[in-house]
Amino acid sequence: MIRCMIPLMFAAALHAQDQPARLTFEVASIKPFKPMEGRGGGGIKPKPAGQGYDAVGVSVRQIISLMYRMPVQHVTGGPSWLDSDLWTVDAKADRAYNVGDLHTMFQNLLADEFKLKFHKDVREGPVYVLTVDKSGSKMKVNTSPQDFEVPMLGGPGGVTIGKRCPMEYLCYRLGDILRNDDRPVIDKTGLSGTYDFTLSFLPDLPPGFDKANLPPDVADRPNIFDALRQQLGLKLEPQKGPVVYYVIDSVEKPEGN
């Protein structure tokens, strides 16, 4: 019996060595957000050179939404503080990592420090499907090295600037822009690179708002659907498809908070 167990133990040890190490930050500070710190809230982005992540004045639901690329309205359940309490997170890695690995680290931080547990609920429902328009993509391919900047930012005059933006992130942001429609955006473009673009569109206006009150250059902008087709060569259409929800089973505030 002992002779049989030794090879099995040796094989198990070799198998354990083959398993990739669980990605975690080397050190992370998590504190309740204090506006008097002199920094604005609502920001979350990788540290320069991919050596960690910073979050300032964000809720746990917002963090989950970004780290899992899930529309915030599809992260459901959980206590009220999941939205009301804001946090500052200073997470440092032991070296530079790509954005995907950093997101995995933050997902593990949510599990370890906030004791986050959730399950997926997939239902058939209304979605938007993003495809390449018959005119072809009008975005510029960007093959430059990862710069760890946010892929889509507001530019001068309320115009959105995309830089090294993958389609996954564009779909995530489009779902956020169109959150009132409650339709996640599914990528069926077949575009696997990263792209530069400028997107100028008329945002949703409150009911009864008179467009005449807008600056002429804003009032004349196309809606988001026409802007995507005319400026990026992409088509966004309503369809039926799988709608994923992340349902919070349990979550806790970090110890000491």
Task: Count CB neighbours of 185 within 10 A.
Answer: 23
Residue type, 210: D
Check residue 16 and give its pLDDT: 47
Check residue 2 and give its pLDDT: 46
Residue type, 39: R
- Break the chain into its structural domains and give their ranges: 22-122+246-250, 123-243
The structure tokens listed for 36 are 């008097």
3-state secondary structure of 132: strand
Map tokens 């250059």 to a residue: 217
Instruction: Single out the residue of 167, 122, 121 nearest to residue 141, CA to CA.
Output: 167
Residues whose CB is less than 8 angstroms from the CB of residue 91 and which lie 6 or more positions away in sequence, other chains included:
25, 27, 28, 29, 52, 53, 54, 55, 105, 106, 109
Q: Which residue numbers in the chain have pLDDT < 70?
A: 1-20, 36-42, 156-157, 256-257
Dihedral sign for Cα 186, 189, 194, 198, please.
negative
Structure pTM? Answer: 0.78
pLDDT digits (tens, 9 = 90+) for 227-241: 999 999 999 999 999
CB 249 within 8 A of CB 118: yes
d(CA 79, CA 197): 39
3-state secondary structure of 117: strand
